[in-house]
A and B are shown apart, each in its own frame.
Chain A
């Protein structure tokens, strides 16, 4: 199956056109955030304050890259385990985030929130940090520089490969994929 080429950020229609199991190639602008940045964003939301980035339609990539070598846009940059972000994801979706990219299982609360807010959870290949770094053309810190590798970065990506795991219809590739091949 040929991967689908998609552009970031996403509209609701873009989200609804994708199903779990779809391989995609993402081009455009995406943002990074890990545990520490999520915590700060959600604290601002709780206080009703404005966020350092507009989440509407955006992709959030859970990543903490290695330091870039001279001449590199970014160091190795594969996904980190998404479950650590579960507590924050429903609020991120409420604020307009449309898709998140990581690896590994999500909680039922997150899956329900994806359906409710029309969002996607995608997995990039965990451990393919060298390959994924080649798909990132530009990288700059846009918030929380004090967090180092955990700061929020704005990435320009070209044909960044990922697979839809949880779609907005409640499907789950992790459950269905294993069922199909179990024996």
Chain B
């Protein structure tokens, strides 16, 4: 049994909170640069230029890319041969979030009570944490600060199996079209298919943690990702919705086995500030 101190988890988490919010990943940065080459709209090009410059300023001055430094979302793969000492995993992660958001001058965007008082918790906790127990003696922590503007443009729909591929494509494309300029395009579209009502939403979220632009390993889904992305870009919505070719930088699908009577589908949109990091401890 390997022993791992809760404080070690907190230290990593605190660093990850700052790092993810300040440095735009090279995946998104590369795609923004590619888009600048292919974008036809002059206003669209201007937006892409600003976004590239924005990422450079954030990096050089060590300030957040975007003022919405998000809900702290974690996927943890916990090796079953690791024994956590000195606290619970939830406590360790939340202590890291609290420290990272304070020391990194990140915005605290979480209210304790969603309906009535909506009072800010003051330290951006609690985080949203999904944990999987896996074989081995390593711990993998994936983190994404998830902005509210793009999160609000998300949906789950229980499609019928007979809706088929066409029905699934329509659901995703129409949903993204309705979101339009709100989620700060260019966007990354996380899509879940299969599973239950709750599982499909988690799959859509998980899709946003993929290295942006990588394809699904199954060639059928990889092709479908490309088809949906092309349809979304053909809407003409463009960067920031001002019109243009670049509405989506990528579409990622995560599938899961399905009940014979169901075909659950979910869309979780991320903005170009698609911040995500992983560490293996």
Tally B residues with Cβ within 8 Å of A: 49
Q: A123-B242, A129-B67, A183-B234 are in contact. List 10 more A-B contacts (CB 8 A).
A: A76-B63, A76-B67, A105-B182, A123-B181, A125-B50, A177-B241, A178-B235, A179-B243, A181-B40, A181-B41
Q: A126 contacts B149, CB within 8 Å?
A: yes
Enumerate chain A residues within 8 angstroms of B50, measured Cβ to Cβ: 125, 128, 131, 161
Interchain Cβ contacts under 8 Å between A and B, 21 examples: A66-B69, A67-B105, A76-B67, A80-B68, A103-B184, A104-B149, A104-B180, A123-B241, A125-B51, A126-B240, A127-B51, A129-B67, A131-B54, A174-B181, A176-B243, A177-B41, A177-B237, A177-B243, A178-B236, A179-B243, A182-B235
Shortest CB distance A137–B (Å)? 15
Q: Is A142's beta carbon under 8 Å from chain B?
A: no
- Given A104-B149, A178-B237, A182-B235; A130-B42 close (CB under 8 Å): no
CA distance A127 to B64 in the complex (A): 10
B120 partner residues in chain A, CB cutoff 8 A: 148
| B107 and A149 form a contact (CB under 8 A) | yes
A130-B58 contact, Cβ under 8 Å, with A76-B63, A78-B67: yes
Contact between B107 and A65 (Cβ–Cβ < 8 Å)? yes
Binding site for A on B (CB under 8 A): 40-43, 46-47, 50-51, 53-55, 57-58, 61-69, 105-107, 109, 120, 147-149, 152, 180-182, 184, 234-238, 240-245, 271-273
Residues of A within 8 A of B152 (CB): 81
CB distance from B55 to the nearest CB of A (A): 8
Alpha-carbon separation in the docked complex, A159 to B80 (Å) = 56
A89 in contact (CB, < 8 A): no
Residues of chain A within 8 A of B62, CB atoms compared: 69
What's the nearest-Cβ distance from chain B to residue A153, in Å? 13
Cα of A21 to Cα of B243 in the assembled complex, Å: 10
- Inter-subunit contact A63/B67 (CB<8 Å): yes
Tell me, in angstroms, the Cα distance from A165 to B55 when the chains sit together. 24
**Please, how many angstroms separate the alpha-carbon atoms of A76 and B53 in the complex?**
14
Minimum distance in angstroms from B113 CB to a CB of chain A: 15
Q: In the complex, how many residues of chain A place their beta carbon closer than 8 angstroms to a beta carbon of chain B? A: 46
User: What is A's interface to B at a CB cutoff of 8 Å?
Assistant: 1, 21, 23, 63-69, 72, 75-78, 80-81, 83, 103-105, 123, 125-131, 133-134, 148-149, 161, 163, 165, 173-174, 176-183
Docked complex Cα distance between A134 and B58 (Å): 10
A177 to B236, CA, bound (A): 7
Contact A69 B234 (CB under 8 A): no
Query: In the assembled complex, which residues on chain B have CB atoms less than 8 Å from the CB atom of A127?
Result: 51, 54, 65-66, 147, 184, 271-273
In the complex, which of the residues B43, B55, B184 contacts A23, with contact meaning CB atoms closer than 8 Å? B43
A64 with B236: CB separation less than 8 A: no
Minimum C-beta distance from B59 to chain A (A): 9
Minimum CB–CB distance for B116 against chain A, Å: 15
User: Closest Cβ of chain A: how far from B175's Cβ, in Å?
Assistant: 14
| Bound Cα distance from A99 to B212, whole angstroms | 36
**Are A130 and B57 in contact, CB atoms less than 8 angstroms apart?**
yes
**Quick check: A21 and B57 within 8 Å, CB to CB?**
no
Partner of A66, one of B46, B63, B180: B63
